[in-house]
Amino acid sequence: MECPNCHQKIPFFSKAVQSWGKIKVCPHCNEGMRQTFAYGKFFVLAFAVGLPIKLLGVFVPALAFTKSSVVTAILVGLFSLFCLRFKALES
């Protein structure tokens, strides 16, 4: 993730990312930013990556475990993490 104000990288497991609420504070510049979710990116990932992984379980018998709901939950959770982003607060 990247700060929209100072454009420095913010580690995913930092306090700024993991704190409660939608408004976060950058650890580098101490400016406010809003955490948002990129819905378009999520659906592109779901159909471009998730669907082929699920179809592997249908066509390849050795990979039948990819048809399970546990794999679906893992993929949705992983794609959700990839789709989080920060936007600058408007003054």
Chain segment 15-52, per-residue pLDDT in tens = 888 888 888 888 899 888 998 899 999 999 999 999 99
Q: How many residues does the chain have?
A: 91
Sheet with 23-25, side-by-side order of all strands: 23-25, 32-37, 84-88
What would the pLDDT profile of 58-90 be if each residue is shown by its tens digit?
898 888 998 889 999 999 999 998 898 888 887
2 in a domain, yes or no?
A: no
60 in a domain, yes or no?
A: yes
10 in a domain, yes or no?
A: no
| CA distances from residue 29 to 32, 33, 54 in whole angstroms, order as listed | 9, 11, 42
5 in a domain, yes or no?
A: no
Q: Structurally, how many domains does the chain consist of?
A: 1
Residue 76 has a pLDDT of 92
30 in a domain, yes or no?
A: yes
Write out the residue range of the structural domain in which residue 78 sits: 15-88
